Amino acid sequence: MPAFPEVFEFLTQNKGTWLESPRTPFTKGRKPQKFRILECDAEQERVTIQLESGMTVPLEFWRFVSAIDTLNSDDYTPIGSPGSDQYPKQTIESVLHSVAKEKDDRGAGRGTAPHVIDLLVLAGIAELGLTPSESGRKVQGARLREGRGQEESFTCLVCGYNLNPYYPYCPQCVTLRQPPGFRGEENKENRTK
């Protein structure tokens, strides 16, 4: 099981349930579609959601890790969208787009940030608010809920990177994070498979 227990637990417990986007109150005009969790696969390291329209959207766990990393501040970070001009650098969408390009992910331009943030908010990890964009207009933003990101961190046993407790794997070497309290080296081979 991934090491971000609250998010993973939320995803598995709500599988098949239609959920309302928490961004709805912050949206003018066209409202976000309801969605449901079709699959949460720890082995494939992804969750698949289905929108009301029937469209399915796979969300790899690394997207949650990158979003949590980006939200690790007191200020709201703009969520962004696939329609953003060249993915302005300070949005969650731009971070996910950049990481996807680095990973040579064919889904680099999918516009997944709004869905990732919806799930982080519904799981109780993040909260929504309005924040100024580069042009000064108020846009949807997110940040970690108070007290998040200051929990005890763990160190990756493979590369030594300091990990947030909500990371499912090490973002440096993509090794699954050891369970809380695990400090031994004996299972190093099992975690890297």
As a three-state string, the secondary structure of the chain is CCCCHHHHHHHHHCECCEECCCCHHHCCCCCCCCEEEEEEECCCCEEEEEECCCCEEEEEHHHHHHHHHHCCCCCCEECCCCCCCCCCCCCHHHHHHHHHHHCCCCCCCCCCHHHHHHHHHHCCCEEEEEEECCCCCEEEEEEECCCCCCCCCEECCCCCCEECCCCCECCCCCCECCCCCCCCCCCHHHHCC
pTM, rounded to two decimals: 0.73
Range of the domain at 98: 5-144
- 68 shares a domain with 160: no
pLDDT surpasses 70 at 96: yes
- 101 shares a domain with 189: no
- 94 shares a domain with 69: yes
- 107 shares a domain with 22: yes
- 95 shares a domain with 10: yes
- 157 shares a domain with 140: no
Number of structural domains found in the chain: 2
**Mean pLDDT, residues 93-122:** 84
- 158 shares a domain with 121: no
**For 16-20, 62-66, 103-107, which range has the lowest pLDDT when averaged over its residues?**
103-107
**Mean pLDDT, residues 112-117:** 94
**What pLDDT band is residue 163 in, cutting at 50, 70 and 90?**
low
